[in-house]
């Protein structure tokens, strides 16, 4: 299991520009049902819920990173308000290995 930097609902909500809380809830439920993420509920006051990638979800990471790399370079008008292309490193803080 991989722990994400943003693993709580409000953290995810803050990092996904323009997403509606109901939409995020729906997407998280869909990913949990598909066994891509795991939800852990902590019996605290207030209740704390954290999400983490499963082995299956982590296996998708390289594919999603390549898609993100493509979109930052070639779909910048749809991704960024200023429509300027960016490198993957600029957006995500790391380089991707070159895939053959």
In this structure, the answer to whether residues 48 and 72 fall within a common structural domain is: no
- Model pLDDT for residues 27-60, shown as the tens digit of each residue: 999 999 999 999 999 999 989 999 999 999 999 9
75, part of any domain: yes
Q: What is the pLDDT of residue 1?
A: 43
In this structure, the answer to whether residues 42 and 69 fall within a common structural domain is: no
Three-state DSSP state, 13:
helix
100, part of any domain: no
13, part of any domain: yes
- Model pLDDT for residues 88-99, shown as the tens digit of each residue: 676 666 665 544
State the pLDDT confidence band at 71, using cuts at 50, 70 and 90. Answer: confident
H helix runs in the chain, sequence order: 9-15, 21-33, 55-59, 61-74, 76-79, 88-92
- Domain range for 69 is 61-92
In this structure, the answer to whether residues 72 and 37 fall within a common structural domain is: no
| Count of domains forming the chain | 2
As a whole number of angstroms, the distance between CA 12 and CA 15 comes to 5
pTM above 0.75, yes or no: no
88, part of any domain: yes
- Model pLDDT for residues 8-25, shown as the tens digit of each residue: 888 888 877 778 999 999
């Amino acid at each position: 299991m991989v722990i994400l930097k943003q693993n709580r609902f409000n953290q995810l909500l803050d990092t996904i520009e323009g997403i509606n809380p109901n939409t995020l809830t729906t997407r998280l439920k869909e990913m949990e049902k598909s066994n891509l993420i795991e939800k852990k509920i902590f019996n605290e006051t207030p209740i704390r819920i954290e999400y983490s990638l499963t082995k299956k979800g982590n296996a998708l990471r390289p594919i999603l990173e390549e898609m993100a790399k493509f979109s930052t370079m070639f779909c910048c008008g749809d991704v960024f308000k200023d429509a300027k292309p960016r490198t993957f490193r600029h957006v995500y803080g790391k380089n991707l290995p070159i895939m053959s």
